[in-house]
Amino acid sequence: MFEWSDEQLMVRDAVRQFIDKEIRPNLEELEHGDTPPYDTLRKLFATFGMDAAARDRFANQIAFEKQVADAVAAGDQPPDRPKRDGDGGASSLTIIPIIELCRVCPGMVTAMGVSVGLTSAAIMSKGTIAQKERWVPELLTLEKVGAWAITEPDSGSDAFGSMKASARRDGDEYLLNGSKTFITNGPYADTIVFICKLDEGNPPAERTILSFVLERGTAGLEQSKPLRKMGMHSSPTGELFLTDVRVGRDRLIGETEDVVSGGREGAKTTFQQERSGVAAMALGIIQECLELSVAYAKDRVQFGQPIGRFQLIQDKLARMEVARLNVENLVFRTVEMSAAGRPMTLAEASAMKLYSARAATEVALEAVQLFGGNGYMSEFRVEQLARDAKVLQIYAGTDEIQITHIAKDLLRR
């Protein structure tokens, strides 16, 4: 695959029209006002049938899982997984809106991705069938807003090592305590995946990692107001405080304390998915910055000629185009791998995230430079994209952590 099909281009154009009508006119309010992004995202989902498609995919997946469970219970051979749809895992309905939204409002993608992607994936990957049916459908359609909470004030890159959030057994129930920070959708989340350590009085390094599903309004759970931050203003980020939150085993993902079924492996699968999504986000930012830069280079006259005639400006445009091609190829590769049912390794997902995040930040900052003083002004838009791009190098694992993961995998072979 080296370009989108005609059908996919039609989806892209329709998404562009939606963005022009529903998002661009409200960008100021979404970026700098108090309006959360969820209603606009729900409208996007409804307009493109993304909610109905998600519901169908979920129903098929659950039907398959039930057949497998029945076969296993009866001692029969489990059925084969049904064939995929061959269009790259519904890529036109997932990746194209991510790219297009990121050209204008990357924060909306962060809010959407954490809710629809990360939170539901955490439950889908390790939850029981009953847990999936209870929480996932409304997350996939954005009827409910989801948050995935691992980071704490003293535990970021070393997410498991320094984690203080705890679960203590209390009869048949658990008491959860701890605080989480930088949680996307934290202020508005209805459904929260809370990752913590089982405290059995053993040394913290030996404690089992568990994930629980919490709901807004649960006694002892406090959700902060949105934190102020550098970019991604349309994605609310907040803190969570848990004081003796009492939950039953039905909220423990997988309903088991077995680490293989839940715990670290579950969280790692989620990292992987998060990382591969960043390339599509980076592509949207790069495409927009490049197009705006080319237009400005033709239009802006200094020393009696368009600045695009200066070789130093041409160098910037050429580097942006190299980045666009490389990141686009990574995105197409993801689509192809998904269509082939070939999962990405953690090293591949990390390499892709590292490269794309750096490329998006470099391109956006160079776009600001190319625009000169106008580049520093909000009106010209590259300023927002540069602030937004920076966090791609920080969340979902910093650049430095991606490097360590890639190297660890290479050296292990």
Interface residues with ligand FAD (CB under 6 A) are 114, 148-151, 156-157, 182-184, 229, 232, 237, 391, 394-395, 397-398, 400-401, 404
Task: Give the β-pairing of 173-184 and 221-223.
Answer: unpaired
CB 121, min distance to ligand FAD, A: 13
- For residue 347, CA distances in Å to 325, 331, 380, 406 come to 21, 16, 37, 5
CA dist 347 and 225 (Å) reads 35
DSSP 8-state class, residue 20: I
The residue (of 337 and 394) whose beta carbon lies closer to ligand FAD is: 394
Cite the DSSP H helix spans in 262-397.
263-299, 311-339, 346-370, 382-390
C-alpha closest to that of 260 among 201, 209, 329: 209
The residue (of 114 and 406) whose beta carbon lies closer to ligand FAD is: 114
The residue (of 123 and 335) whose beta carbon lies closer to ligand FAD is: 123
CB 83, min distance to ligand FAD, A: 34
CB 151, min distance to ligand FAD, A: 3
CB 66, min distance to ligand FAD, A: 31
The residue (of 15 and 145) whose beta carbon lies closer to ligand FAD is: 145
CA dist 233 and 30 (Å) reads 7
Q: Which two tokens stand for residue 1?
A: 């695959």
CB 79, min distance to ligand FAD, A: 36
CB 159, min distance to ligand FAD, A: 7
The residue (of 100 and 388) whose beta carbon lies closer to ligand FAD is: 388
264-295 in b/e form (b: 16+ CB < 10 A) is eebbebbbbbbbbbbbbbbbbbbbbbbebbee
CB 180, min distance to ligand FAD, A: 6
CB 297, min distance to ligand FAD, A: 31
- For residue 409, CA distances in Å to 219, 266, 334, 347, 351 come to 43, 19, 19, 6, 11
The residue (of 88 and 106) whose beta carbon lies closer to ligand FAD is: 106
The residue (of 143 and 400) whose beta carbon lies closer to ligand FAD is: 400
SS3 211: strand
The residue (of 4 and 182) whose beta carbon lies closer to ligand FAD is: 182
Q: What are phi and psi of 160, to 5 degrees?
A: -85, -40
Angle at which helices 50-73 and 129-140 cross, to 10°: 170
Q: Which residue's C-beta sits nearest to ligand FAD?
A: 156
Residue 127 Rama label (left phi>0; alpha psi -120 to 50; beta): beta
CA dist 35 and 350 (Å) reads 33
